[in-house]
Amino acid sequence: MFVAVFFITPLLLVARMSLSGWPLLTGNGGLNFPKNYLSIWKNALFGPAVVFTIEYTLIVTVLLIGLGLGLALLVQESGRWVNMLRTVILLPVSLGLAAASLLFWGFYSPSIGPISPILEQLGLIHEPISFLGTSLSALLSTSFLIVWKYSGLYMLIFLVGLQAIPDDLFEAAALDGASRIQVFRHITWPLLRPSLALALILCVTGSLLAFDQFYILTKGAPDNSTVTVVQLIYREAFQRQNLGTSAAISIIVLVALLVLNAVQFRYLRSSEPGLKR
Amino acid sequence: MTAMRTGTLGRTPYYVLTGGLAIIFLFPLLWSLAASVSPQASTGQVNGLGLGNYTTLFNYGAGLVRFLLNSAYVALLTVAITLAVSTLGGYAFARFRFPGREALFLLTLSILMVPYATVLIPLYVLLNGFGLQNSLIGLSLVLAMFQLPFATYMMRISFEAVPRELEESAQVDGCGTFSVLWRILLPSVRPGLITVGLFAFLAAWSDFLAPLILLTDSTKQTLPLAVANLRQQTMGAIDYGATEAGVVVMAIPCLILFLLLQRYYVRGFMSGAVKG
Instruction: Provide the pLDDT for residue A9.
Output: 53
Of A104-108, A122-126, B157-161, which one has max mean pLDDT?
Answer: B157-161
pLDDT at position B274 is 46
Residues within 8 A of A (CB atoms), B 88-117 only: 104, 107-108, 111, 113-117
Residues in contact with A105: Cβ distance below 8 Å, sequence separation at least 6, in sequence order? A216, A217, B231, B243
**A250-276 burial, b if ≥16 CB within 10 A, otherwise e?**
bbbbbeebeeebeeeeeebeeebeeee
CB contact under 8 A, A89 and B21: yes
With bands split at pLDDT 50, 70 and 90, how would you rate the model's confidence at A270?
A: low
Q: Which residues of B touch A104 (CB under 8 A)?
A: 28
pTM over 0.80: no
B95-122 average pLDDT score: 70
Candidate from A49-58, A192-201, B124-133 with smallest mean pLDDT: B124-133
* φ/ψ (deg, to 5) at A20: -125, 160
What is the end-to-end Cα distance of chain A in Å, rounded?
A: 31
Query: Is pLDDT above 70 for A275?
Result: no
The band of B117, judged by pLDDT with boundaries at 50, 70 and 90, is: low
Between A92-101, A124-133, B92-101, B260-269, the lowest mean confidence (pLDDT) is in A124-133
Asked whether the predicted pLDDT for residue A77 surpasses 80, the reply is no
Which of A10 and A164 is assigned the larger pLDDT?
A: A164
Q: Which of A9, A14, A115 to substitute to test the interface with B, most B CBs within 10 Å?
A: A14
**Residue scoring higher pLDDT (B49 or B170):** B170
In the predicted structure, residue A29 carries a pLDDT above the cut 60? no
**Cis-peptide, bond into residue A222, ω within 30° of zero:** yes
What integer pLDDT is reported at residue A43 of this predicted model? 66
pLDDT of amino acid A196: 80
Residues from chain A contacting residue B18 (CB–CB below 8 Å): 74-75, 81-82, 85
Chain A to chain B Cβ contacts (< 8 Å):
232
Q: Where is pLDDT greater, at B9 or A69?
A: A69
State chain B's mean pLDDT as an integer: 74
pLDDT average, residue stretch A116-124: 65
Mean pLDDT value across residues A222-247 = 72
Does residue B275 register a pLDDT over 70? Answer: no
On whether any CB of chain A is under 8 Å from the CB of B60, the answer is no
CB contact under 8 A, A238 and B270: no
Residue A63 has pLDDT above 80, yes or no: yes
Per-residue pLDDT band at A156 (split at 50, 70, 90)? confident
Mean pLDDT of chain A: 72
Residue A148 has pLDDT above 60, yes or no: yes
DSSP run (H or E) holding A164: none
Of the listed ranges A138-152, A203-217, A229-243, B73-87, the least confidently predicted one is A229-243
Which chain A residues contact residue B71 at CB under 8 A? none
What average pLDDT score do residues A251-261 get?
A: 78
At A274, the pLDDT band (50, 70, 90 cuts) reads very low
Half-sphere exposure of A114 (CA within 13 A, CB side): 14
* Cβ within 8 Å, pair B119-A14: yes
Mean pLDDT, residues B168-189 taken together: 75
Q: Which residues of A touch B266 (CB under 8 A)?
A: 156
- Residue B191 has a pLDDT of 81
Look at residue A240 in the predicted model and tell me its pLDDT. Answer: 66
Three-state DSSP class for A209? coil
Residues of chain B with Cβ-Cβ distance to A234 below 8 Å are: 117, 209, 212-213
Please answer yes or no on whether B208 and A253 come within 8 Å at the CB atom. Answer: no
Query: Residues 122..151 of B with a Cβ closer than 8 Å to A: which?
Result: 122-126, 141-142, 145, 148
pLDDT given at position A190: 78
Tell me what pLDDT residue B6 has: 44
Interval B144-164 mean pLDDT:
79
Alpha-carbon distance of A72 to A152, in angstroms, equals 9
Q: What are the pLDDT digits (tens) for B59-68?
A: 666 677 778 8
**Structure confidence at residue B74 (pLDDT):** 87
What ipTM was predicted for this assembly? 0.72
Window from A17-31, A233-247, B61-75, B209-223 with minimum mean pLDDT: A17-31
CA terminus-to-terminus distance, chain B: 26
pLDDT band with cut points at 50, 70 and 90 for residue A277: very low
**Cβ contact A210:A226 at 8 Å:** no
Contact at CB, A198 and B276, closer than 8 angstroms: yes
Has residue A251 got a pLDDT over 50? yes
- CB nearest A103 (choices: B28, B125, B209): B28
Is pLDDT larger for residue A136 or for residue B49?
A136
pLDDT at res. A273:
44
Whether A7 and B202 lie within 8 Å, measured CB to CB? no
Q: Find the mean pLDDT for residues B222-244.
A: 69
| More confident of the two residues A43 and B237 | A43
Closest CB to A253 among B17, B118, B243: B118
Residue A20 pLDDT level (bands cut at 50, 70, 90): very low
Judged by CB atoms closer than 8 Å, whether chains meet at B115 and A257 is answered as yes
Taking alpha carbons only, the member of A81, A94, A161, A116 closest to residue B205 is: A94
Judge whether residue B118 has pLDDT over 80: no
Give me the mean pLDDT over the B224-251 stretch.
71
